[in-house]
Amino acid sequence: MSITKEQIIDALSHVEDPDFKKDLVALNMVKDVEVNGNKISFTVVLTTPACPLKEKIQNDCEQAIRDYVSKDAVIKINMTAQVTGRPADKSSMLPGIKNIIAVASGKGGVGKSTVASNLAVALASTGAKVGLADADIFGPSQTLMFGVVKERLFAEERNGKTYMIPLEKFGVKLVSIGFLVEKTQAIVWRGPMASKALTQLLCDTLWGEVDYLLVDLPPGTSDIHLTLASSFPVNGAVVVTTPQEVAMADARKGIDMFRKQGITIPVLGLIENMAYFTPAELPENKYYIFGKGGGVKLAAEMNVPLLGSVPLIQSVCEAGDNGIPVAYDPDIVEGKIFREIAYAMAQQLAISNAKIEDEKLAHANK
């Protein structure tokens, strides 16, 4: 008996996406089913190319075909991704951008910019379209971390308005106030000016299509944070902390800020940076100089996922100073930690987007 497309669809309806707790067919993730004798091919469309469950889902699909259709089938699965985000809103200020993600902390110097640069290059390396806006207009550092301190941005006229063209490096589209001022020039912004600078940085840039726009924020809870949260559709925030009590107390405030009434930005997770010290010559050793287990404890207390813990390693600092984030080179082991955090973040974002979509549908059907 020959195999039919219906049999394939039926088999794949037994495969559950572990994140969304629904089957792949119900989630509309199965496309282009083709059958030719015992040769079967189809496409699975994931919600992010950074999906950490890609391999598991692919194996589960193969197993389902063997269990429900034929043991001898020759199976070819094309795993692709279409990043989910806000529904395209042409009237939006940022129409081509699917997801805006704030990278924040309470305390300064805990590693927001290091994390933001590494997450950006890690996501870009999966094939996602990534933008990074350095919104720390008081102390921009992304031009240094991307090794583009001397570069300047080009501008383009569109309908009588001048737009910035982001600088592309390591697959990431970057804009920073650092491009617009001299490195040694002290920047003294008053509140409203700072908010305006952020709005310009985001709205006066020709971003094109972007799956993930990361926004590297200044420390604390400033006018910049309020402007971003109130004027832009931010899909999620990640909060960076070190394990010290002082940093964690500020991280709590940072998380609370996104949950304030009228703001309600989903907190996708906590990232514990400088979690332990690992000397280059003793890579197996971990010294918990700032205390142990702080990230796990805070994540549980605030009811947010701990996306990962990054050790304090010299190479991370050097890579930042040298303008090549560690996550850029797949052969650098330190980069793996950031890549895993990036995938975990993309996963949490996809779950959060799906939940919001479901709630909207439930509300509309009431």
Q: Residue 292 CB, nearest distance to ligand ATP (Å)? A: 16
Site for ligand ATP in 29-68 (CB under 6 A): none
Of 106-114, 225-233, 246-254, 352-360: span binding Mg ion (CB under 5 A): 106-114
Residues whose CB is less than 8 angstroms from the CB of residue 331 and which lie 6 or more positions away in sequence, other chains included: none
Taking the least distance from each CB to ligand ATP, the nearer of 47 and 242 is 242
Q: Residue 64 CB, nearest distance to ligand ATP (Å)? A: 41
Taking the least distance from each CB to ligand ATP, the nearer of 11 and 121 is 121
Taking the least distance from each CB to ligand ATP, the nearer of 8 and 104 is 104
Q: Residue 254 CB, nearest distance to Mg ion (Å)? A: 13
User: Max alpha carbon distance in the chain (Å)?
Assistant: 76
Site for ligand ATP in 114-133 (CB under 6 A): 114
Site for Mg ion in 129-158 (CB under 5 A): 136, 141
Do 46 and 57 meet the contact criterion of CB atoms below 8 Å apart?
A: yes
Taking the least distance from each CB to ligand ATP, the nearer of 49 and 320 is 320
CA–CA dist 312, 165 (Å, integer): 34
Beta strands 22-23 and 210-216 are unpaired
Q: Residue 218 CB, nearest distance to ligand ATP (Å)? A: 6
x/- site string to Mg ion, residues 112 to 131, per CB under 5 A?
A: xx------------------
From candidates 109, 192, 279, 293, binder to ligand ATP by CB under 6 A? 109
CA–CA dist 140, 230 (Å, integer): 22
Q: Residue 128 CB, nearest distance to Mg ion (Å)? A: 22
Beta strands 167-169 and 172-176 are antiparallel
CA–CA dist 49, 337 (Å, integer): 17
In angstroms, how far is CA 166 from the centroid of its own chain? Answer: 18
Q: Binding of Mg ion at residue 47 (CB under 5 A)?
A: no
Q: Residue 284 CB, nearest distance to ligand ATP (Å)? A: 17
Q: Which residues pair with 319 in a beta bridge?
A: none
Q: Residue 270 CB, nearest distance to ligand ATP (Å)? A: 14
Size of the site for Mg ion (CB under 5 A): 4
Taking the least distance from each CB to ligand ATP, the nearer of 316 and 350 is 316
x/- site string to ligand ATP, residues 310 to 329, per CB under 6 A?
A: x-xx--xx--x---------
> What Cα–Cα distance (Å) separates residue 144 from each residue in 19, 117, 271, 338?
37, 10, 22, 19
The interface partner of residue 342, options being Mg ion, ligand ATP, none and the CB cut-off 5 to 8 Å by kind, is: none
x/- site string to ligand ATP, residues 138 to 167, per CB under 6 A?
A: -x-x--------------------------
Q: Which of 62, 53, 84, 72 is nearest to 14 (CA)?
A: 62
Q: Which of 355, 345, 359, 358 is nearest to 267 (CA)?
A: 345
- The helix or strand, by DSSP H or E, that contains position 156, with its residue range, turns out to be strand 154-158
Q: Binding of ligand ATP at residue 219 (CB under 6 A)?
A: yes
Size of the site for ligand ATP (CB under 6 A): 20
The interface partner of residue 181, options being Mg ion, ligand ATP, none and the CB cut-off 5 to 8 Å by kind, is: none
* Sequence-ordered alpha helix ranges (H) in the chain: 5-12, 54-68, 112-125, 142-145, 191-203, 223-231, 245-259, 294-302, 314-322, 333-364
Q: Residue 109 CB, nearest distance to ligand ATP (Å)? A: 4
CA–CA dist 221, 22 (Å, integer): 38
Q: Which of 67, 68, 9 is nearest to 35 (CA)?
A: 9
Give residues in contact with Mg ion (CB under 5 A): 112-113, 136, 141
Give residues in contact with ligand ATP (CB under 6 A): 105, 108-114, 136, 139, 141, 219, 273-274, 310, 312-313, 316-317, 320
